[in-house]
Structure formats: C-alpha cells, structure tokens
C-alpha cells in the first residue's frame, strides 16, 4: 500500500482528499496535519511514500517544509495559485492540483502516484556491471546513478548516490546499456538521471548531489519537451 499523509489547513479540501484515499485500497492514509511540522515524527518513524501538500499554510508552507526534510517522499501539491506550479518543479512533483479540487484531477494525481511507485519497485533491483579494470567489474544499481560525465580520452566518471566509478566507454554506448527513460543526454559530455534534478537555473541543471551540469544548446529543446516545460 502507498503510505500517504495530507498537509492542508482547509477542512473541505482535506475531507475530499480523505474520501478518495479511503476508497482506494492502494493507499493507506497515515496522517492529516494542518501544521506540517507536526508530521516530522511520523516521517522519521515510518516510511512515507506520498505527501499531498498545500503550498500555502499558516507558519510553514509546503515548499519550505519539503526543503527542510532530508528524505523526500513523492509529492502532490495543491494551491489556489497556478503560478506556483513553476516553483514546484524544484521538488519534481507528481502533480499540481489547483483549487477548488475536482474529482478528475484527484484521480489523475493518484494514478500518477501508483504508476511511479510501481515503476520504482520494478526498477529498484535493476543493475548494470561497469568495467573498472582489465578483469574488474563494479555492480551498480541503475536507480542510484545520478549522472555520467565524459572526462576525455574515452574515460567516463559515473556519479552514484554513494560512490564515483571510472570506466572507459562512450557516452552513447552507456546510454544504450542503461536503456532507461530516466536518463537523458543534456550536453555532449553529460548524461543525467532526470529523477535527481533539483532545479534548472537558466542554462544549467542543479542536481540533488549539488553538481551543476550545463545544458547544451542542441539539447535544450528536447530536455524541455521531456520535462513538460513550455
């Protein structure tokens, strides 16, 4: 089941979301909070898969709260102000719901959450072997690869969430080896895992490991299209 919490200070919105979640056997509602800070003990104690959060709340808002926690679950944002959708990209939200909430939008958001978690479970055990020496190979979980950097002379530097691995291979070939929609070439020397994007700053991508990756001019249009940016 998808363990979910709601952060919202408006009773009518909470009531509607609760009704949908309780009717869907794929979701387990673990908590309702009008103050996001009250959810911290639960987040620390239990693994939460999904946060449905209003952007603006008294005290601390949804964006500020997400920035304050280290382990970030999937998130669906709610707001009466569509302009917040652009700022929400920092958190890679599954969906951005505008108030007043409607059945169609809620169902779309919940389906996206289910699809993302199903795909994550399928991919969590996928791995590749990278040649690191004449007879040495390093096993890497594909989901842990953050970015791949060509450093010259056919050398690649593979950055994962917990190590950096060097190998000799062409970027094109490793992209074929990965064969995974999460990865995209964004510059002649860089491949990134789209799930690790923190924010896009003009012509650069800031990843969650604080690496800044330049966006090549010939890759900008395809990247924007893939991310749904207009």
DSSP 133: S
Per-residue pLDDT tens over the stretch 167-180: 999 999 999 888 88
Q: What is the pLDDT of residue 126?
A: 85
Q: What is the pLDDT of residue 123?
A: 62
DSSP 80: S
Helix (H, G, I), strand (E, B) or coil at 144: helix
**Residues with Cβ < 8 Å from 84, sequence gap 6 or more?**
55, 77, 96
The phi and psi torsions of 118 (rounded to 5 degrees) equal -60, -45
Q: What is the pLDDT of residue 125?
A: 58
**Residues with Cβ < 8 Å from 179, sequence gap 6 or more?**
none
Residues of the chain with pLDDT under 50: none
Q: What is the pLDDT of residue 89?
A: 87
Rounded CA gap, 227 and 230, in Å? 9
Q: What is the pLDDT of residue 104?
A: 94
- Give me the domains of the chain, ranges plus CATH numbers: 2-123 (3.40.50.2300), 127-227 (2.40.50.1020)
Q: What is the pLDDT of residue 63?
A: 95
Q: What is the pLDDT of residue 151?
A: 94
Q: How many CA atoms lie within 13 A of 66 on its CB side?
A: 25
Q: What is the pLDDT of residue 122?
A: 67
**Residues with Cβ < 8 Å from 209, sequence gap 6 or more?**
146, 147, 159, 161, 196
Q: What is the pLDDT of residue 124?
A: 59
What are the respective helix, strand and coil percentages of the chain, to the nearest 5?
35, 35, 30
The phi and psi torsions of 11 (rounded to 5 degrees) equal -55, -40
The phi and psi torsions of 126 (rounded to 5 degrees) equal -80, 140
């Amino acid at each position: 089941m998808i363990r979910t919490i709601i952060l919202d200070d408006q009773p009518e919105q909470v009531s509607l979301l609760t009704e949908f979640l309780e009717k869907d056997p794929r979701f387990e509602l673990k908590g309702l909070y009008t103050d996001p800070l009250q959810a911290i003990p639960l987040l620390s104690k239990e693994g939460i898969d999904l946060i449905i959060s209003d952007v603006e709340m008294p005290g601390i808002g949804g964006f500020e709260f997400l920035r304050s926690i280290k382990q970030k679950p999937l998130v669906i944002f709610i707001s009466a102000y569509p302009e917040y959708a652009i700022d929400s990209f920092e958190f890679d939200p599954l969906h951005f719901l505008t108030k007043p909430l409607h059945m169609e939008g809620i169902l779309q958001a919940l389906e996206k959450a289910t699809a993302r978690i199903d795909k994550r479970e399928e991919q969590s055990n996928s791995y590749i072997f990278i040649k690191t020496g004449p007879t040495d190979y390093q096993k890497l979980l594909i989901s842990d690869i953050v970015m791949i950097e060509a450093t010259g002379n056919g050398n690649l530097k593979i950055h994962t969430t917990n190590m950096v691995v060097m190998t000799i291979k062409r970027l094109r070939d490793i992209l074929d080896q990965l064969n995974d929609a999460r990865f995209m070439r964004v510059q002649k020397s860089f491949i990134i895992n789209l799930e690790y994007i923190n924010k896009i700053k003009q012509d650069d991508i800031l990843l969650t490991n604080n690496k800044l990756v330049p966006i090549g001019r010939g890759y900008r249009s395809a990247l924007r299209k893939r991310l749904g940016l207009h």
